[in-house]
Structure formats: C-alpha cells, structure tokens
Amino acid sequence: MNEKEIIEIIQRELSEKTLGVTEQYLKIHSPIYIDNKLKIERIDEENSDGLVIVYLPVFREKFYFAVYINAKTKEITNIGTEPHHRVYFIATSENLTVEELKAMTILQPTELWNLGDFRNNQKRKYTYSGIKFLINPEPDEFEHKLNKLIDFLEQDARGIIELVQKANGYIQVAMDIHNGNTMLGGPYLNAETINRMSKLGLSISFDLYTAGNYFKN
C-alpha cells in the first residue's frame, strides 16, 4: 500500500464510521488536515503480524490516533490512541564538562550542553553538563522505542557503562497518554529487555502525563 491508498482507506472509515470506536474518538478529538488532506505522521510497516500501523497527529494534542490496517485485505481492524513517547539515555555531571562526557563514548549525542549554558527558554542556566541520546523521536510503541534505544547503546557498551558509573547515566521515559476513561494502562518491560538493561547497568525513570478529553456516553 502506498500513502495515497492508506489515506483513502482511513478517510473512508472516518466518513462511514463502520467501527464503533471511530465514532467514539471523533466525538472528542479530531485528526489534523492540511489543505483538506489528512496528515500522516508515520506509517509503520515493520510489524511481523502483517499489520500496518498508521499514526495520525491529533489536533492540539501530543498523542496520536493509531490506525491498524491488515496489509493483505486492506481493511482497518482497529483504531486507538498511541501515547507520545520520548525514550532517551541521558548522562549529567556537575563536575565534568560536556567534552569529558562525550569522550567516554564513541556514540554521537543528539543533544548536549555545558554547565552555565542557557536552557531552551533562555531564562535559566544549566547547573550541570549533560549529553542526551534520543534516537527514535517518531511515533512508535514504547517497547519498540526502548529496544531500539538499547540496540543503539549496546554498540558501545563500555562507554555507556562508564557514563552510568561516572555521570549518573540512565534511561528517561516521558509519556503523554490519552485519558479517555481513566484506564491508562502502562509500560511493559519483558525479562529480555530487563536483562539487556542490567548488563549496561541501566536504570529507567518514567514521567507520565495525561491529556485529552473523556469519552462521551
């Protein structure tokens, strides 16, 4: 399926509302259109079960509509929401410079700052140096994002372990979750993932934020 076919399939469902959940979601939130064309943030065709997951940004929200399409029949099997996940490794120090932090690993950080640099809001300064690795910013399921990050970090296990030991390195997760009925669910870590993190000495921290409108009766 190309993007044009996918948009047509989704747009037809949004108009006809053959699935009960479609009407439920459209009563409380809207996808984004640009020049009357449905905006697609990402098309995920990496799933082994034959499903294509299409992520649609939601108007004035950070979370996404997730549309599940059977690649063979080209039929929508379900519509839900996917939180906006930010999953990254961060290491900070009040004593080491950003150059000293960078020197501990061969991996290239996606963000870095020195003690005394201005924060993004340009009003406050950092009280510590830091480096961050956010390698998968696009919409995706939490487990996929976490495993992709671990895949990346394992390319330099020795360097990551040094950052953990000398600069409080750890994995940080922030989730913006649609609170439609107060049943939020939560992240899941299987034994293999925990074991891989343990070998790198990694801890993990979660910040959960709720957003959006409640379902209407």
Q: Kindly give, in sequence order, each residue whose CB lies less than 8 Å from that of residue 212, ignoring residues fewer than 6 positions away.
A: 28, 29, 58, 61, 63, 81, 178, 179, 180
Ranges of the chain with pLDDT below 50: none
Which pLDDT score, from 0 to 100, does residue 46 have?
A: 83
* pLDDT digits 0-9 by tens, 38-52: 999 999 998 878 899
Residue 123: predicted pLDDT: 81
As a whole number of angstroms, the distance between CA 29 and CA 27 comes to 6
Spatial CA neighbour of 140 closest among 53, 38, 48: 53
CA nearest 58: which of 185, 180, 216, 184?
Answer: 180
pTM (2 d.p.)? 0.94
What residues form DSSP beta bridges with 36?
A: none
Nearest CA to 91 among 200, 209, 208? 200
pLDDT in tens, 74-106: 999 999 999 999 999 999 999 999 999 999 999
